[in-house]
Amino acid sequence: MANTTGMKFGGRKKGTPNKNTSALRDRVESLINDNWEDVLKDIKELTGKERVDIIVRLLEYSLPKLQRTQLEEVQPPKVTTINLGVGVSPETE
């Protein structure tokens, strides 16, 4: 029978991290930490452009990407004047 209530039954609760993802991140972090001196040595052996490219790519993992914004020109609303004849006496017309 299908769940038509819209409620979630079983599985991970909202906000609970995935165990596999956490384990993989821990392993990658250990790999980098254990070989950090070699990584720095390898980066120093690159050409200037290659070094900058690697640093920019590594920054993506430490700094959040900023969302792109787009500016739009806002036109002021057009104002239409309507003369209702208030304050005008019939004799002056």
Contact assessment for residue 18 and residue 12, using Cβ atoms and an 8 Å cutoff:
yes
> What's the pLDDT score for residue 14?
78
Q: Which amino acid is at 61?
A: Y
pLDDT, tens digit (0-9, with 9 covering 90-100), for 11-33? 777 777 777 888 888 898 899 89
Alpha-carbon distance of 59 to 64, in angstroms, equals: 9
Confidence of residue 47 (pLDDT cuts 50, 70, 90): very high
